[in-house]
Amino acid sequence: MNKISIFRSLTTLILSIYLLAGTGSAVLYNGVDFPGGASSFADEVVSYNPATGVSGHDNPSMAIGIPDYANNTNYVSLGDEGTLVLKFTDNSLTTSGNENKDLWIFEIGEKFESADVYISKDGINWIYTGSTSNYTTGIDIDAYRGPEGIILGEQYSYVKLVDRLPHESDSPTAGADIDAVGAVSSNAAIQADVAVSPEAPDTTMVPDINAERIICFRLSSIRNFIIIALLIAGAIGLYLIKRRKGN
């Protein structure tokens, strides 16, 4: 095998591995492809105000993380017109710039029960983005762009779900039953403002959000980079061994 053939083989191998690793963090949940994997899902319960009829299914933390409903567990019921507010902490929801579904709501139960969906940057000012229409509902938040609505490229950390009437099911699972909330169109987490003491000189550097987006790799991306680097090093070592034998 001459040097050109070895080089071509190594190049093909490295490129193939890179392409495979680059998509390795994407995971399917209930048929929906989440490029960010498990980190795409809501991380924190901000508030939970259920109505009556949710006894035994009133733990809002069951809506955190990936869809994991099993054996009538791992979900939270809202009750008729009950509300649930969740927050993304290690990522944020953003627009896709097209008609793709950006936000996904996973509902379970014997009967589908709809919920209105709102999103927010600060957990105070809310933007209505439609309602769920099936057990697994995707929402294109770009469709709600406007002066008082969604802003292209903006980052949103909060999602509020409000159960819709009419009454569909009784206790203990009244209202919409939420398993998970995930962002397919995902960006870096929104950075909290840093408070500076008035007595001390201001030596705090203001975070550069654009720079943070560049360097804020997910753990899966770092893992893939390490794998690629090791494979490249191995490939170079193989080339040098073959070259030495050839001499």
DSSP letters for 118-187: EEESSSSS-EEEEE--SSEEEE-GGGGBSTTSB-TT-EE-EEEEEE-SSP---TTS-S-EEEEEEESSEE
Q: pLDDT confidence of 209, banded at 50, 70, 90?
A: very low
Q: pLDDT confidence of 223, banded at 50, 70, 90?
A: low
Q: Lowest mean pLDDT: which of 54-63, 123-132, 148-157, 170-179?
A: 170-179
Interval 211-235 mean pLDDT:
57
pLDDT tops 70 at residue 239: yes
pLDDT at residue 165 in the model:
84
Q: Lowest mean pLDDT: which of 4-18, 38-52, 70-84, 184-198?
A: 4-18
Q: What is the mean pLDDT of the chain?
A: 80
Report the Cα 92 to chain-centroid distance in Å. 7
**Comparing 69 with 51, which gets the higher pLDDT?**
69
Q: pLDDT confidence of 110, banded at 50, 70, 90?
A: confident
**Comparing 106 with 109, which gets the higher pLDDT?**
106
Calpha distance 132→134 (Å, rounded): 6
Q: Are 83 and 47 in contact (CB under 8 A)?
A: yes
- CA distances 56 to 46, 75, 171, 173, Å, are 20, 10, 9, 8
pLDDT tops 70 at residue 124: yes
Calpha distance 14→173 (Å, rounded): 52
- CA distances 39 to 26, 52, 89, 90, 179, Å, are 10, 32, 9, 7, 15
**Comparing 141 with 15, which gets the higher pLDDT?**
141
pLDDT tens for each residue of 180-195: 999 999 988 887 643 4
> Considering Cα of 64, then 67, then 71, then 77, what sign does the dihedral take?
positive
Please give the share of the chain, as a percent, with pLDDT higher than 90: 52
| Distinct helix (H) and strand (E) counts, the chain | 3, 14
Count of CB atoms situated within 10 Å of the CB of 133: 12
Instruction: Report which residue type is found at 187.
Output: N
CATH level 3 topology of 27-187: Jelly Rolls (2.60.120)
Backbone dihedral angles phi then psi of residue 191, each to the nearest 5 degrees:
-85, 135
pLDDT at residue 6 in the model:
52
Q: Lowest mean pLDDT: which of 20-34, 48-62, 198-212?
A: 198-212
pLDDT tops 60 at residue 98: yes
**Comparing 97 with 206, which gets the higher pLDDT?**
97
pLDDT tops 80 at residue 28: yes
pLDDT at residue 234 in the model:
74
**Comparing 37 with 228, which gets the higher pLDDT?**
37
